[in-house]
Amino acid sequence: TVVLVAAALLSCTDAARKTRGELKIDVIEKPESCSVLSGKGDTVGIHYIGSHTSGEVFDSSKSRGPFSFKVGDGKTIPGFDQGVVGMCIGEKRLLTVPPHLGYGEKGHPPTIPPMATLKFEIELVELEKASVFSSGSFGTTYSTAVPLFLLGVAIYYLYHRAQTEEGTRKRPAKAKGGRRR
């Protein structure tokens, strides 16, 4: 029980810091109320200030407007893709991005040297949730299931229509008086 209490205390003192792999995420500011979180497949807009570990700023979106991207699409550095997951609109985080989740061995000359660890102060300012029909296996299931369901309904309708028409067709009348002799 002592170990559990110590672990609980340690996690409470470090509640605002999360680590995914080697990406370090420090929550700077979080809104009191947050009902919608960003996730994979969502389109987000963030403001960021990018700096070297020395503190020298190399880029900022503040003068250009929010940087928008679809989370998990791989069209931005992996540190951004991972760092925005679970954010609320108005939340601010400090991401410490190691080289393999940033610009790697090539860097981004002339402002980012090869194998640079970078810091990004980010704020989520826009969030467009992904449609359930366009994300993950849930969307794949529905995109397959709905047409199959509609096909089943159409077959059922045509079958019963054919049965009804067959029952209403005129049949040859039976001879009166029973059997023929």
pLDDT in tens, 47-73: 999 999 999 999 999 999 999 999 999
Residues acting as catalytic residues: 48, 58-59, 77, 103, 120
* pTM exceeds 0.85: no
Going 2 to 8 to 9 to 11, the CA torsion angle's sign is: positive
CA distance 64 to 79: 21
CA distance 22 to 101: 8
CA distance 150 to 29: 48
Mapping DSSP to helix (H, G, I), strand (E, B) and coil, where does residue 138 land?
helix
Average confidence (pLDDT) over 134-140: 50
Residue 153 main-chain phi, psi, to 5 deg: -65, -45
Find tokens 């995109």 and name the residue. 143
Distances (CA, A) of 172 to 165, 168, 169, 179: 16, 12, 10, 15
Q: What is the pLDDT of residues 97-124, one digit of tens each?
A: 999 999 999 999 999 999 999 999 999 9
The yes-or-no verdict on residue 82 having pLDDT over 90 is yes
